[in-house]
Amino acid sequence: MTKVWFITGSSRGLGLSVTKAALKASYQVAATARKPEQLKQLIDTYGTQILPVQLDVTDKEQIRQAVEQTIKHFGRIDVLVNNAGFGITGAAEAFTDEQVRSQLETNLYGPIEITRAVLPHMRRQRAGRILQISSIGGRIGTPGVTIYQAAKFGLSGFSEALAPEVLPLGIHVTSVEPGGFRTDWAGASMSYAPLIEGYESTVGFVTEFLKGDKFIPMGDPDKAAQVLINLAEHPEPPLHLVLGSEASAMLQQIDAKRKAEFEKWLPVTQSTDADDAADFLQTDAGRAYSKIKGIE
Protein backbone atom coordinates (compact mmCIF):
# COMPACT_ATOMS: atom_id res chain seq x y z
CA MET A 1 0.00 0.00 0.00
CA THR A 2 1.38 3.39 -1.03
CA LYS A 3 1.40 5.81 1.87
CA VAL A 4 -0.28 9.20 1.61
CA TRP A 5 1.42 12.37 2.81
CA PHE A 6 -0.45 15.59 3.65
CA ILE A 7 1.98 18.51 3.58
CA THR A 8 1.20 22.15 4.32
CA GLY A 9 3.18 24.98 2.76
CA SER A 10 4.26 22.80 -0.17
CA SER A 11 5.09 25.56 -2.62
CA ARG A 12 8.25 26.96 -1.02
CA GLY A 13 11.05 26.44 1.45
CA LEU A 14 11.30 23.25 3.47
CA GLY A 15 7.73 22.30 2.50
CA LEU A 16 8.70 22.24 -1.17
CA SER A 17 11.79 20.14 -0.43
CA VAL A 18 9.72 17.64 1.59
CA THR A 19 7.06 17.48 -1.13
CA LYS A 20 9.68 16.74 -3.79
CA ALA A 21 11.36 14.12 -1.61
CA ALA A 22 8.06 12.36 -0.83
CA LEU A 23 7.11 12.27 -4.51
CA LYS A 24 10.56 11.02 -5.49
CA ALA A 25 10.15 8.24 -2.90
CA SER A 26 6.93 7.21 -4.73
CA TYR A 27 4.53 8.31 -2.02
CA GLN A 28 1.21 9.91 -2.87
CA VAL A 29 1.11 13.52 -1.75
CA ALA A 30 -1.64 15.99 -0.96
CA ALA A 31 0.40 19.15 -1.49
CA THR A 32 -1.32 22.14 0.05
CA ALA A 33 -0.58 25.79 -0.60
CA ARG A 34 -2.34 29.13 -0.56
CA LYS A 35 -1.66 29.25 -4.32
CA PRO A 36 -1.63 25.64 -5.59
CA GLU A 37 -0.93 26.85 -9.14
CA GLN A 38 2.66 27.32 -7.94
CA LEU A 39 2.91 23.52 -7.88
CA LYS A 40 2.42 23.23 -11.66
CA GLN A 41 5.90 21.89 -12.36
CA LEU A 42 5.45 19.07 -9.84
CA ILE A 43 1.98 18.30 -11.22
CA ASP A 44 3.38 18.09 -14.75
CA THR A 45 6.12 15.74 -13.55
CA TYR A 46 4.21 13.47 -11.17
CA GLY A 47 0.65 13.54 -12.51
CA THR A 48 -1.89 11.73 -10.36
CA GLN A 49 0.71 10.99 -7.69
CA ILE A 50 0.23 14.55 -6.42
CA LEU A 51 -3.03 16.20 -5.39
CA PRO A 52 -2.74 20.00 -5.29
CA VAL A 53 -4.99 21.44 -2.58
CA GLN A 54 -5.70 25.07 -1.84
CA LEU A 55 -5.26 25.74 1.85
CA ASP A 56 -4.91 28.81 4.00
CA VAL A 57 -4.01 27.26 7.36
CA THR A 58 -5.77 30.11 9.18
CA ASP A 59 -9.12 29.17 7.57
CA LYS A 60 -10.83 26.44 9.59
CA GLU A 61 -13.34 25.62 6.84
CA GLN A 62 -10.56 25.27 4.26
CA ILE A 63 -8.74 22.93 6.65
CA ARG A 64 -11.80 20.70 6.91
CA GLN A 65 -12.32 20.72 3.15
CA ALA A 66 -8.65 20.00 2.41
CA VAL A 67 -8.61 16.96 4.69
CA GLU A 68 -11.90 15.66 3.31
CA GLN A 69 -10.71 16.20 -0.27
CA THR A 70 -7.57 14.20 0.46
CA ILE A 71 -9.48 11.34 2.08
CA LYS A 72 -11.95 11.25 -0.80
CA HIS A 73 -9.15 11.23 -3.38
CA PHE A 74 -6.54 8.94 -1.78
CA GLY A 75 -8.64 7.14 0.84
CA ARG A 76 -6.37 7.86 3.79
CA ILE A 77 -3.69 10.09 5.32
CA ASP A 78 -0.64 8.31 6.70
CA VAL A 79 1.80 11.17 7.29
CA LEU A 80 0.88 14.72 8.25
CA VAL A 81 3.58 17.39 7.90
CA ASN A 82 2.55 20.69 9.49
CA ASN A 83 5.10 22.93 7.82
CA ALA A 84 3.37 26.16 6.73
CA GLY A 85 4.51 29.23 8.61
CA PHE A 86 6.45 32.47 8.48
CA GLY A 87 8.70 34.56 10.69
CA ILE A 88 8.42 38.01 12.18
CA THR A 89 11.01 40.16 13.95
CA GLY A 90 10.66 43.14 16.26
CA ALA A 91 10.33 44.24 19.86
CA ALA A 92 7.44 42.59 21.71
CA GLU A 93 5.80 45.95 22.41
CA ALA A 94 6.21 47.10 18.78
CA PHE A 95 4.14 44.41 17.05
CA THR A 96 0.68 45.39 15.91
CA ASP A 97 -2.30 43.38 17.11
CA GLU A 98 -2.69 42.02 13.59
CA GLN A 99 0.95 40.87 13.49
CA VAL A 100 0.58 39.02 16.79
CA ARG A 101 -2.70 37.45 15.72
CA SER A 102 -1.40 36.35 12.30
CA GLN A 103 1.66 34.72 13.87
CA LEU A 104 -0.37 32.69 16.34
CA GLU A 105 -3.04 31.80 13.77
CA THR A 106 -0.52 30.59 11.19
CA ASN A 107 2.23 29.05 13.31
CA LEU A 108 0.20 27.64 16.22
CA TYR A 109 -3.57 27.57 15.80
CA GLY A 110 -3.32 26.35 12.19
CA PRO A 111 -1.18 23.28 12.95
CA ILE A 112 -3.36 22.46 15.94
CA GLU A 113 -6.55 22.62 13.87
CA ILE A 114 -5.05 20.57 11.03
CA THR A 115 -3.84 17.96 13.51
CA ARG A 116 -7.30 17.81 15.07
CA ALA A 117 -8.89 17.40 11.62
CA VAL A 118 -6.55 14.56 10.63
CA LEU A 119 -6.57 12.65 13.94
CA PRO A 120 -10.03 11.03 13.55
CA HIS A 121 -8.86 9.39 10.32
CA MET A 122 -5.58 8.20 11.83
CA ARG A 123 -7.45 6.96 14.89
CA ARG A 124 -9.73 4.82 12.71
CA GLN A 125 -6.67 3.52 10.84
CA ARG A 126 -4.89 2.86 14.15
CA ALA A 127 -1.78 4.24 12.47
CA GLY A 128 -0.20 7.52 11.44
CA ARG A 129 2.75 9.85 11.69
CA ILE A 130 2.53 13.55 12.60
CA LEU A 131 5.60 15.68 11.93
CA GLN A 132 5.22 19.14 13.41
CA ILE A 133 7.74 21.56 11.93
CA SER A 134 8.49 23.65 14.97
CA SER A 135 11.89 25.32 15.43
CA ILE A 136 14.89 25.46 17.70
CA GLY A 137 13.04 28.68 18.55
CA GLY A 138 10.49 26.42 20.21
CA ARG A 139 13.15 25.45 22.75
CA ILE A 140 15.29 28.59 23.03
CA GLY A 141 14.24 32.22 23.47
CA THR A 142 15.89 34.87 21.28
CA PRO A 143 15.42 38.66 21.41
CA GLY A 144 13.46 40.02 18.48
CA VAL A 145 11.37 36.96 17.70
CA THR A 146 9.19 36.76 20.80
CA ILE A 147 5.87 36.22 19.06
CA TYR A 148 7.24 33.74 16.51
CA GLN A 149 8.86 31.78 19.31
CA ALA A 150 5.74 31.96 21.46
CA ALA A 151 3.95 30.12 18.66
CA LYS A 152 6.76 27.59 18.23
CA PHE A 153 7.06 26.93 21.98
CA GLY A 154 3.30 26.34 21.91
CA LEU A 155 3.54 23.92 19.00
CA SER A 156 6.35 21.94 20.65
CA GLY A 157 4.38 21.79 23.90
CA PHE A 158 1.21 20.72 22.13
CA SER A 159 3.15 17.97 20.36
CA GLU A 160 4.82 16.75 23.55
CA ALA A 161 1.47 16.42 25.32
CA LEU A 162 -0.23 14.91 22.27
CA ALA A 163 2.37 12.20 21.70
CA PRO A 164 1.55 9.96 24.71
CA GLU A 165 -2.16 10.64 24.19
CA VAL A 166 -2.22 9.09 20.72
CA LEU A 167 0.62 6.56 20.93
CA PRO A 168 -1.72 3.73 22.06
CA LEU A 169 -3.62 4.36 18.81
CA GLY A 170 -0.54 3.64 16.73
CA ILE A 171 0.07 7.33 15.99
CA HIS A 172 3.57 8.76 16.44
CA VAL A 173 4.19 12.48 16.92
CA THR A 174 7.53 14.23 16.42
CA SER A 175 8.30 17.89 16.98
CA VAL A 176 10.93 18.70 14.35
CA GLU A 177 13.06 21.62 15.52
CA PRO A 178 15.38 23.03 12.85
CA GLY A 179 17.95 25.73 13.29
CA GLY A 180 18.76 28.03 10.39
CA PHE A 181 18.16 26.50 6.96
CA ARG A 182 18.70 27.94 3.51
CA THR A 183 15.08 28.73 2.78
CA ASP A 184 13.43 32.14 2.47
CA TRP A 185 12.55 32.25 6.19
CA ALA A 186 14.70 35.34 6.72
CA GLY A 187 13.91 36.66 3.23
CA ALA A 188 10.52 36.83 1.56
CA SER A 189 8.87 34.95 4.44
CA MET A 190 10.08 37.40 7.09
CA SER A 191 8.18 40.51 8.17
CA TYR A 192 9.17 43.18 10.68
CA ALA A 193 7.67 45.41 13.32
CA PRO A 194 8.55 49.11 13.31
CA LEU A 195 11.83 49.89 15.08
CA ILE A 196 11.44 51.74 18.39
CA GLU A 197 13.92 53.44 20.70
CA GLY A 198 15.73 51.50 23.39
CA TYR A 199 16.19 48.14 21.70
CA GLU A 200 19.18 48.97 19.48
CA SER A 201 21.56 46.42 21.05
CA THR A 202 19.05 43.56 21.18
CA VAL A 203 16.17 43.63 18.71
CA GLY A 204 17.94 46.18 16.51
CA PHE A 205 21.02 43.97 16.26
CA VAL A 206 18.93 40.92 15.28
CA THR A 207 16.94 42.93 12.74
CA GLU A 208 20.01 44.33 11.01
CA PHE A 209 21.66 40.91 11.01
CA LEU A 210 18.66 39.26 9.32
CA LYS A 211 18.18 42.08 6.82
CA GLY A 212 21.85 42.15 5.86
CA ASP A 213 23.90 39.66 3.89
CA LYS A 214 25.70 38.19 6.92
CA PHE A 215 22.99 35.64 7.76
CA ILE A 216 23.97 32.48 5.88
CA PRO A 217 22.22 29.51 7.48
CA MET A 218 24.09 26.23 7.78
CA GLY A 219 21.16 23.92 7.06
CA ASP A 220 20.34 22.32 3.69
CA PRO A 221 16.55 21.93 3.28
CA ASP A 222 16.91 19.02 0.84
CA LYS A 223 18.97 17.09 3.39
CA ALA A 224 16.38 17.90 6.06
CA ALA A 225 13.63 16.65 3.75
CA GLN A 226 15.36 13.30 3.33
CA VAL A 227 15.65 13.02 7.11
CA LEU A 228 11.87 13.48 7.37
CA ILE A 229 11.26 10.80 4.73
CA ASN A 230 13.37 8.37 6.75
CA LEU A 231 11.83 9.54 10.03
CA ALA A 232 8.30 8.71 8.84
CA GLU A 233 9.36 5.08 8.38
CA HIS A 234 11.34 4.72 11.60
CA PRO A 235 9.74 2.23 14.04
CA GLU A 236 10.70 4.32 17.09
CA PRO A 237 10.76 7.99 16.07
CA PRO A 238 11.88 10.60 18.63
CA LEU A 239 9.48 12.97 20.32
CA HIS A 240 11.82 15.89 19.57
CA LEU A 241 14.25 15.99 16.65
CA VAL A 242 16.66 18.92 16.45
CA LEU A 243 18.09 19.56 12.98
CA GLY A 244 21.39 21.30 12.31
CA SER A 245 24.70 21.53 14.17
CA GLU A 246 24.02 25.20 14.89
CA ALA A 247 20.76 24.29 16.63
CA SER A 248 22.33 21.44 18.58
CA ALA A 249 25.12 23.69 19.89
CA MET A 250 22.60 26.33 20.97
CA LEU A 251 20.45 23.74 22.74
CA GLN A 252 23.37 22.17 24.58
CA GLN A 253 24.44 25.59 25.83
CA ILE A 254 20.98 26.67 26.99
CA ASP A 255 20.28 23.28 28.60
CA ALA A 256 23.43 23.65 30.72
CA LYS A 257 22.36 27.14 31.83
CA ARG A 258 18.85 25.94 32.64
CA LYS A 259 20.17 23.00 34.64
CA ALA A 260 22.48 25.26 36.65
CA GLU A 261 19.67 27.73 37.34
CA PHE A 262 17.27 24.93 38.30
CA GLU A 263 19.73 23.43 40.79
CA LYS A 264 20.57 26.83 42.28
CA TRP A 265 16.91 27.53 43.00
CA LEU A 266 15.88 23.96 43.86
CA PRO A 267 15.60 24.62 47.63
CA VAL A 268 13.13 27.42 46.92
CA THR A 269 11.25 25.20 44.48
CA GLN A 270 10.85 22.43 47.05
CA SER A 271 10.00 24.81 49.89
CA THR A 272 6.49 25.40 48.53
CA ASP A 273 5.21 21.81 49.00
CA ALA A 274 2.34 21.25 51.41
CA ASP A 275 3.42 19.64 54.67
CA ASP A 276 1.66 16.37 53.81
CA ALA A 277 2.78 16.24 50.14
CA ALA A 278 5.24 13.36 50.65
CA ASP A 279 2.55 11.29 52.38
CA PHE A 280 0.09 11.95 49.54
CA LEU A 281 2.49 10.58 46.94
CA GLN A 282 2.47 7.24 48.77
CA THR A 283 -1.29 6.86 48.42
CA ASP A 284 -3.07 5.23 45.46
CA ALA A 285 -4.24 8.65 44.31
CA GLY A 286 -0.73 10.03 44.63
CA ARG A 287 0.78 7.16 42.64
CA ALA A 288 -1.85 7.63 39.94
CA TYR A 289 -1.06 11.35 39.84
CA SER A 290 2.66 10.61 39.52
CA LYS A 291 2.01 8.20 36.65
CA ILE A 292 -0.06 10.76 34.74
CA LYS A 293 2.62 13.40 35.24
CA GLY A 294 5.40 10.99 34.25
CA ILE A 295 7.27 11.40 37.55
CA GLU A 296 6.93 7.87 38.88
Q: What is the pLDDT of residues 13-52, one digit of tens each?
A: 899 999 999 999 999 999 999 999 999 999 999 999 999 9
134 is a catalytic site residue: yes
Q: Are residues 239 and 114 in the same domain?
A: yes
223 & 278 share domain? no
The domain total for the chain is 2
* Contacts (Cβ under 8 Å, ≥6 apart) of 3: 27, 28, 78, 79, 232
Residue 165 clears pLDDT 70, i.e. is over it: yes
Do 133 and 165 lie in one domain? The reply is yes
Examine the residue annotation and report whether 72 is marked as an active-site residue of this protein: no
- Over the stretch 60-75, which tens digit does the pLDDT of each residue have? 999 999 999 999 999 9
Q: Which residue has the higher pLDDT, 291 or 101?
A: 101
- Does 275 share its domain with 237? no
Residue type, 180: G
Task: Give yes or no for residue 187 having a pLDDT over 60.
Answer: no
272 and 207 share one domain: no
- Note whether 32 and 153 are same-domain residues: yes
Q: Does the active-site annotation cover 189? A: no
Residues 170, 145 within the same domain: yes
Give residue 78's pLDDT: 98
User: Is residue 284 located within the same domain as residue 190?
Assistant: no
Tell me how long the chain is.
296
* Full residue range of the structural domain in which residue 281 is found: 265-296
Note the pLDDT tens digit of each residue in 129-161: 999 999 998 899 998 999 999 999 999 999 999
Kindly report the average pLDDT of the chain as a whole number: 90
Q: What are phi and psi of 132, to 5 degrees?
A: -95, 115
Q: For residue 120, with 0-12 CB atoms within 10 Å meaning exposed, 13-18 middle and 19 or more buried, which class applies?
A: exposed
pLDDT band for position 290 (cuts 50, 70, 90)? low
Residues 135 and 274 in one domain: no
Q: Do residues 179 and 244 make contact, with C-beta atoms less than 8 angstroms apart? A: yes
Residue 178: helix, strand or coil by DSSP?
Answer: strand
Q: Are residue 205 and residue 274 in the same domain, yes or no?
A: no
Single out the catalytic residue among 27, 148, 159, 199: 148
Residue 113's closest CA among 41, 58, 165, 75?
58
Residue 18 CB partners (closer than 8 Å, separation 6+): 7, 10, 81, 83, 224, 225, 228, 229
Which of 3, 20, 109, 152 is the catalytic position?
152
Res. 279 pLDDT band, cuts 50 70 90: confident
Question: Are both 29 and 138 inside the same structural domain?
Answer: yes
What was the pLDDT predicted at 287? 67
Claim to verify: residue 81 and residue 198 sit in the same structural domain: yes
**CATH number reported for the structural domain that contains residue 87 in this entry:** 3.40.50.720
Which of 11, 134, 135, 175 is catalytic? The answer is: 134
